Structure 1
Amino acid sequence: MASKLKLFWMLPISCLLLSNCLHTRGNADPQVPCYFIFGDSLSDNGNNNNLKTLAKVNYRPYGIDFPEGPAGRFSNGRNMQDVIVELLGFQKYIPPFARANGRSILKGVNYASGSAGIRDESGAQLGARIPLNKQLKNHKIIISRITQILRNDTSTRKLLNQCIYSVQIGSNDYINNYFVPEVYNTSRQYSPEQYAAVLVEQYSQQIKVLYGHGARKFALYGLGLIGCIPFVISAHGTNGSLCVEKLNNAATLFNARLMPLVKELNTNLTDAKFTYVNPSPSPQDALSFVTNSTCCKVGGGGGELCVRNSDPCSDRSRYVFWDGVHPTDAWNELVAQSAYRTNSTNEAHPFNIQTLAKLK
């Protein structure tokens, strides 16, 4: 991979580094009444803060460009879902399940957990986490609370039918499972093709659980180029390639299973809408992003996170990677804008997030 990528728009630096973009928006209603977030560290906004785990980031320099400081996001600022929440017109970010209370839950809840996976055991070597199965159970708790607030099952179901459900998970099932043979035996049980099939089958059942709880609008995210992550390159080596091809190939196999699943779900569950989102903008669409270096000094967590209280790079708007695994606010802005607005079927199919929000 080249050391720089090309961006097709200049990032709004005033929102990126100086202030919370939500504070500059009007008081119009959001495009959907609520937004529920499931996933891993790419979406976690504080659920891991009080867990016994290496996968938590409630310390500086995390959050250095976020108004609340190190709130638990694996970034210098916003994560991708924060930006999508802004684009959808919400006045506040979606609260993490760990702190969600009162009527705020009517706008949605973020259940994502750093190091979590589709499989319950993924990420176990890093400590406690909230796998997708547990996130689904936490969602049932929230549904019960919503029903208590609205005092009516029908009103609850009507509300949930209108929400968007964002699910971005699967990277840890590879980075912190399949490709850690000294801890997990999945690579001895399954070929990469078999593992992708097993993962997506389990994922399919988990998505149908959400559907059974009233979810009708789904954004399902594919895996990015996990073989180009700095920590992965450091851990596995590239044998002269730019990235770790075996991990990128595995991600491609997963995505190749997920895309037809989305089509199948749209065909069989006709009262629901599903879309597949590719979280990897094309290199030719960018301007001056550094891809071969991290913005902070890494060595924290399991070796991939920022060192506590270290000084990060000064020009954080130019870097793809904040730490050894996770993107900067700037890159999250780019990817979220793409997911929300793109007309490219390579980036979102059959529709983007903006269109998903409008569908009845």
Structure 2
Amino acid sequence: MARKTPPRLLLSIFSLLPYLLPCNCSCKVAETGGGATIRGMFVFGSSLVDSGNNNFLKNSLAKADYLPYGIDFPLGPSGRFSNGKNVIDLLGDQLQLPNYIPAFTNPSTKGSRIVHGVNYASGASGILDDTGSIAGQVISLSQQIRNFEDVTLVDLEEQLGCKSTESLPEYLFVVGTGGNDYSFNYLLSAASSNVSLETFTANLTTTLSHQLKRLYSLGGRRFVLMSVNPNGCSPMVMARQPMRKGCIQSVNRAVSLFNGYLKSLVDIIKPEMPGSNLVYVNSYKVIRDIIKNPDSKDFGDASTPCCEVASIEEGGTGVLCKKGGSTCTNRSTHIFFDGLHPTEAVNVVLATKAYASNLKAVVYPINVKQLASI
């Protein structure tokens, strides 16, 4: 005569079934509008895409958590290095994402707040770990990726109820970095360094490719790579050589070399990352075109900062706005808000072109809208 299984044992077996059987968790995502099929964005990089991570770094000099930063931003000063929205905010608008992408270091960035993505970018940081030391505490790109892997992924799986490898293909991974590796690293040490610009750039690109592959191994499949801006045309750089007129071409040549490598990387790295799609956004060209012909783009001043910049003599950096300092009244026609960072008006042009341009000289090989619809 067969023995009956005790009720308590049956209960224990059924309670273990979810752990013993394959997960049927669904990560299916609803369309966010305009044909886009993404949940949100994970953002890595420097101040051009930082949404406030440096606010929570005690020993960082690279902060924008005070007026006049954010003078035109709905939430006021937030740590964005602009008078209003940065390019990430505006891409989010184009993609019809429901919220601003929260900064990782903000203690409230957890739970349901991360389901549309997280921003890890840190002002003054770079691809190389030692870039940005001049600004005190910053979060390098490598550390940003570790923060994503060690902290966010665990939380994300809990929020979505499925493995991150299932959900991450439905996010954009936006990477905007590299400029500081020249401005605050190579160009500061070029005189004493025996490393050529070509060797430095090749090594920088190789390092970045390893970091992109790491994001791919974690589940990232759709990447947006932002080029470095024409920093040689920034008020910060031109102020260092006041006797010269126009952009400092040696700086622009350096970042242009990197941008060329970065665009090539889109084709080179794709076979090594099966199932991935990468888009190169030529922000250098977009902003350089505005600087060359500001009047044709409804801009005016192409060389001076809109805000009153705190000089080194005043205890500032020569880059950032003076706390509580004055600003220009025509912010919608200014190109640079401070000594380095563009105004919201320029960011609008850049985000619009990144999202919808059909010119391969601007977006390669496809635009962000097409990437989001793949």
TM-score (norm: length of structure 1): 0.87
- Checking the alignment, whether the CA contact within 8 Å between 1:178 and 1:186 is kept in structure 2 is no
Match of 2:117 in 1: 108
Q: Which has the higher strand share?
A: 1
Helix, strand or coil: the match of 1:320? coil
Letter matched to residue 200 of structure 2:
Y
Match of 2:17 in 1: none
- Checking the alignment, whether the CA contact within 8 Å between 1:265 and 1:274 is kept in structure 2 is no
The structure with higher relative contact order (CA 8 Å, sep 6+) is 1
Cα distance in 2, alignment partners of residues 254 and 117 from structure 1: 13
Match of 2:101 in 1: 94
- Checking the alignment, whether the CA contact within 8 Å between 1:36 and 1:109 is kept in structure 2 is yes
Tell me the CA shift for residue 148 of structure 1: 2.4
Cα distance in 2, alignment partners of residues 60 and 349 from structure 1: 37
Helix, strand or coil: the match of 2:53? coil
Cα distance in 2, alignment partners of residues 63 and 287 from structure 1: 22
- Checking the alignment, whether the CA contact within 8 Å between 1:122 and 1:177 is kept in structure 2 is yes
- Checking the alignment, whether the CA contact within 8 Å between 2:124 and 2:180 is kept in structure 1 is yes
Match of 1:277 in 2: 281
Helix, strand or coil: the match of 2:127? coil
Matches within 5 A, 1:123-162: 123-140=132-149, 141-153=151-163, 156-162=164-170
CA separation of 1:312/1:251 partners in 2, compared to 1, >3 Å: closer, same or farther?
A: same
- Checking the alignment, whether the CA contact within 8 Å between 1:179 and 1:187 is kept in structure 2 is no
CA separation of 1:159/1:199 partners in 2, compared to 1, >3 Å: closer, same or farther?
A: same
Letter matched to residue 49 of structure 1:
N
Length, aligned pairs only: 327
TM-score (norm: length of structure 2): 0.84
| 1:291 maps onto 2:295 in alignment | no
Cα distance in 1, alignment partners of residues 274 and 245 from structure 2: 44
Unaligned runs of 5+ in 1: 1-26
Letter matched to residue 346 of structure 2:
W
Match of 1:12 in 2: none
Spell out, residue by residue over 1:45-74, the C-alpha distance to the aligned partner (whole angstroms, 9 max, x if none). 110012111100111111010111101100
- Checking the alignment, whether the CA contact within 8 Å between 1:34 and 1:108 is kept in structure 2 is yes
Helix, strand or coil: the match of 1:96? coil
Cα distance in 1, alignment partners of residues 261 and 71 from structure 2: 38
Tell me the CA shift for residue 312 of structure 1: 0.6
Match of 1:318 in 2: 333
Matches within 5 A, 1:129-278: 129-140=138-149, 141-153=151-163, 156-181=164-189, 188-235=193-240, 237=241, 240-278=244-282
Tell me the CA shift for residue 98 of structure 1: 1.4
**Which has the larger Rg?**
2
Helix, strand or coil: the match of 1:211? helix
Tell me the CA shift for residue 266 of structure 1: 2.2
Spell out, residue by residue over 1:309-351, the C-alpha distance to the aligned partner (whole angstroms, 9 max, x if none). 0121111100010000101111111111111111111110001
Tell me the CA shift for residue 123 of structure 1: 1.0
Cα distance in 2, alignment partners of residues 331 and 201 from structure 1: 30
Letter matched to residue 33 of structure 1:
R
Spell out, residue by residue over 1:177-224, the C-alpha distance to the aligned partner (whole angstroms, 9 max, x if none). 11112xxx7961411111110100000000000000100000111112
Match of 2:354 in 1: 339
Cα distance in 2, alignment partners of residues 206 and 239 from structure 1: 40
Alignment counterpart, residue 119 of structure 1, candidates 123, 128, 134 = 128
Spell out, residue by residue over 1:261-317, the C-alpha distance to the aligned partner (whole angstroms, 9 max, x if none). 110122332301011110131345622332111110001641211110012111110
- Checking the alignment, whether the CA contact within 8 Å between 2:299 and 2:332 is kept in structure 1 is no
- Checking the alignment, whether the CA contact within 8 Å between 2:115 and 2:160 is kept in structure 1 is no
Letter matched to residue 104 of structure 2:
F
CA separation of 1:118/1:186 partners in 2, compared to 1, >3 Å: closer, same or farther?
A: farther
CA separation of 1:186/1:97 partners in 2, compared to 1, >3 Å: closer, same or farther?
A: farther
- Checking the alignment, whether the CA contact within 8 Å between 2:213 and 2:273 is kept in structure 1 is no
Helix, strand or coil: the match of 2:355? helix
- Checking the alignment, whether the CA contact within 8 Å between 1:316 and 1:328 is kept in structure 2 is yes
Letter matched to residue 345 of structure 1:
K
- Checking the alignment, whether the CA contact within 8 Å between 1:178 and 1:187 is kept in structure 2 is no
Cα distance in 1, alignment partners of residues 160 and 194 from structure 2: 47
Tell me the CA shift for residue 240 of structure 1: 3.3
